[in-house]
Structure 1
Amino acid sequence: MTTALDRQTKKAANLLVASAKHSYDPRIDVDWQQPLVEGKWFLPERRISLYGTEMYERLSPEQRLLLSREELASSLAAGVWTEHILLHLVSRYAYKRDVTSPQVQFALTEIADEVRHMIMFARLVDRIGSEFYPVAKKTQRNGLLLKTFAPVPALWAMLLLTEEFFDRFQREQAADESVQPVVRTVARIHVVEESRHISFARTELERFVPTLSKRRLELLRHFLAGVVKTIRHDRYNPLMYERAGLDPKAAVAAGRANPIGKANAAYGAERIAPYYRKIGLIGGRSEKVWHDAGWLKD
């Protein structure tokens, strides 16, 4: 009889082979010298937070492009923070385990991937002509606690949640010819490498979640709802609007009230929300948070 651990061992072994065949070095595999293309977006236009609002209609084409650049830079900063937290958590997962096992070896491979991704995102911010966005102090404090004390199930649940959500948008960026070529290349690399992380995390969760007590399951649901709230809040970064030459207070209000923003959130959560509902990670009081954020369809 094949056990969940056997399936995870086989999955990890297969992913190690895939990693050897399909990994990238952004120093070599991204042409950082290629010029930016005049008039091309940094995000698909329909994904800009103010798209469809009266404020957006008043912007010149140049201001709209600038806003798309700053929104990309802000999201890349959030990506660096997330990758940093995840590599700490994955390192904790590997710390006391048998390094000869495929699971641990893939976890170490994943850490190497995340380090390269952080550097790649930082270089992209510089290449598009923006500046890096600092992480909010509250998020920094929460991150220190999270990477130090989060239990293993929370690690895989957070990894899968964040990677699945952002993967949806990066797949779109990679395929959208209206987007800057260098942005599409970075998105394509990230999608390929993160697909392995997503696959591994799913298998880990399917092994862990059925073993959780009712109380631990409810705590994990609450934790994930908190991650959703944080992503929703940080999406409307006042600094990105300020750097784009807009009134940050008015722009944040317009972005939060924009129904297209909620539709974008639903698009990002289209795969992960039904999956988490299916395996029991959405339920009880946490369900309202997912609904309020637009991540869960009725």
Structure 2
Amino acid sequence: MTTATDRPGRRSEDPLVRQTKKATQLLVASARHSYDPRVDVNWDEPLEEGKWFLPEKRISLYGTELYDSLSMEQKLLLSREELASSLAAGVWTEHILLHLVSRYAYKRDITSPQVQFALTEVADEVRHMIMFAQLVEKTGSEFYPVNPKTQRAGLLLKTFAPVPALWAMLLLTEEFFDRFQREQASDETVQPLVRTVARIHVVEEARHISFARTELERFVPTLSKRRLQMLRDFLASVVKSIRRDRYNPLMYERAGLDPKVCVEAGRNNPVGLVNGAYGAERIAPYYKSIGLIGGRSEKVWRSAGWLKDA
């Protein structure tokens, strides 16, 4: 298998040295560009009438006849519930990350930049979880319970999965979520409060994504063919899970719509493939380039519309 250091354009610098340098840089960036949502978000700011809670084109039913039949009030309410549902998925991801980085740091030298940045990540993610919960409350929605199947899987993953496998899963979910948050942060049709929260998360999550990439580039080339295929299959199952959980019946029910009809309409909506491809636009080619997509797992990514031909 081609290693991270053998690829064209990739420096031959030792991966561990590169990771140490990256962690040191990220610690400096964290000190300069971190936020406290209690101070840096104006939670007293009123919501603006007629503003979306996420870009309209990202609503799961957008482009369907069912969506066209809804009133503007119903569309705005649906956008609110879809935002709340996505934030709950974000909190679940952050919660798994807390366990991951704790396990990562547990037996390592706390004086190393890598461990210190991992602990900095813990502090960031705790703030993000609380920030997301406060945003849900501010919008007037309620928090969404995690899908029981996903919750059970999370209990096993955070306890027993190899730490590098969790890095790979979390980089996938964070990169996917980050794509939409960047769009929310710059879309003036979206509620200003939502844009502020998205902007904070994007800035801080960029550091986490960068660190996870250096960790994977150091680790993936050491995998045997068998372990590489297991990791590929695991990531493909994550793709399936994200697609399944995207159409949460409860968000349609809370928006006053028929959940069964809406789930079917959402899953059959071609816009869903467009949105999936958009979310995976960065992570899919990157995982392909470092060997984390290949063999039978590649079919899953392509059938989901998440991987396009170069």
Instruction: State the TM-score bracket (shorter-chain normalisation).
Output: over 0.9
**Which residue of 150, 167, 171 corresponds with 1:139?**
150
Q: List gaps (5 residues or longer) in structure 2.
A: 1-11
The residue aligned with 2:71 is: 60
Secondary structure in 1 aligned to 2:231? helix
Measured against aligned partners, the alpha-carbon deviations of 1:224-258 in whole angstroms (never above 9, x if no partner) come to 01111111000000000000011100000000000
Point out where structure 1 has 5 or more consecutive residues left out of the alignment: none
Partner of 1:27: 38
Distance 2:247 2:302 in 1: 18
Establish whether residue 122 from structure 1 lines up as the match of residue 133 from structure 2: yes
Residue 295 of structure 2 corresponds to residue 284 of structure 1: yes
One-letter amino acid of the counterpart of residue 105, structure 1: Q
User: Partner residue of 1:204?
Assistant: 215
- Say whether the 8 Å CA contact 1:41–1:68 is kept in structure 2: yes
Partner AA of 1:238 in structure 2: P
Shift of 1:156: 1.5
In structure 2, the residue corresponding to 1:124 is in which secondary structure?
helix
State percent identity of aligned pairs. Answer: 83
Q: Structure 2 length as normaliser, TM-score?
A: 0.95
Map 1:94-105 to 2 at 5 A: 94-105=105-116
The residue identity in structure 2 corresponding to 1:219 is M
Matched, 1:245 2:261: no
1:264 corresponds to: 275
2:200 is the counterpart of 1:189 = yes
Aligned residue for 1:261, secondary structure, equals helix
Q: Which runs of 4+ in 1 moved over 3 A?
A: none
Please report the RMSD computed on the Cα atoms of aligned residues, expressed in angstroms.
0.8
Secondary structure, in 3 states, of the residue corresponding to 2:76?
helix
> What does the per-residue CA deviation read over 1:101-133, in whole Å, with 9 as the maximum and x for residues that have no partner?
000000000011111100000000000000000
Residue of structure 2 equivalent to 1:88: 99
2:166 equivalent among 151, 155, 166: 155
What secondary structure, in the 3-state scheme, does the structure 2 residue paired with 1:135 have? coil
C-alpha distance in 2, partners of 1:181/1:205?
35
Give the number of aligned pairs.
298
**Residue 286 of structure 2: aligned partner:** 275
Alignment-mate amino acid for residue 60 of structure 1: S
Distance 1:116 1:280 in 2: 33
Which residue in the other structure is 1:223 paired with? Answer: 234
Deviation at 1:2, TM superposition (A): 3.7
TM-score, normalized by length of structure 1?
0.99
CA distance in 1 between counterparts of 2:115 and 2:106 reads 9
- Structure 1 contact 90–155 (Cα < 8 Å) conserved: no
